[in-house]
Structure 1
């Protein structure tokens, strides 16, 4: 029995339409999770936003857990596009590390009205083992690893002292980001972003390679 030529032509179109629908659902889910947290995300709420049936949404993800994990991965992909990849165009060392931090801060400034899934997710799943927590941890560790590599490159380039503890420096930089979310989003204090930038420069200054003394011959 021969296949229907029309059905063969329609299959790629149907696949493309399915991918577009899934992408649209994922975008809506990301918006909901940013405001309500991953725990506030449900198939039902998403179906209402998308004006779809619950079964229609369920068909694209299979479970609420898979939906949450897909949202985490989508958030990470957007984070990389906005923060990580553009910063890689900067020179190795402090130019790249500064670009990573500045783009991170800009991302934070946008998220103050919604929320950071990494931070809210850490609160929701810090003591709840399972696939969702594992996905969150994997994404956050990937970002921290990228920052740590940038710090180590700055050491290699001679911009930071040889004895710089890269993990300690990363800890201090991340602390400023957490403080911004707390002070700007929770306490609604003005100036938090500027304070974070000042704090970053103080961290850099502490670990920076001291300038070489100018010799008497050079002064002459």
Structure 2
């Protein structure tokens, strides 16, 4: 059974109503990125950071997976499928995909500021005074700028073993995630789905660009792969 690895970014969730990571002016929901997505921002104003992610978390309950998320689930009937996502939402899970690695953390989890191994599922607001079992403040389970990406080694290993790579809705400018494409096998087919593709047809061997939004492009690629290889 062929192994398909899917790398997803903000573009696939944008169609469900989740704002992309940052606007063209460099702000995220009106905030400087470093205010709400860095250890320094957390140190300087934890209340602002908690409020910011509380709003992001609450938004998840008002959105649904779109046709891009749903189409990927069909691949699991014919292939071994791994999704490596930069997104912190749970739309892949809710669509029905089963093997998902979150590179940048998850909105529906929090962790201890004392022991990062203490991770808890969390669906409500996170407030000052919410503590882990070691009596330390809990923080969003999000990988902030300047922090290590704990799941990176796993993502590299997954990508290395891909027979087919699909990239969806990412600018290919956020590292280290953008570098994962370089770990694929030389002969592996690569599909890049994005309405404004940031790479060109001759950037990689066996690259096919689909200049469509995810809800249109993903079902097309899924149908093609099932017809070709299943």
**Shorter-chain TM-score range:** under 0.3
- TM-score after normalising by structure 2: 0.23
Between Structure 1 and Structure 2, the one with more helix by share is 1
Instruction: State the structure with more CA Rg.
Output: 1
Between Structure 1 and Structure 2, the one with more strand by share is 2
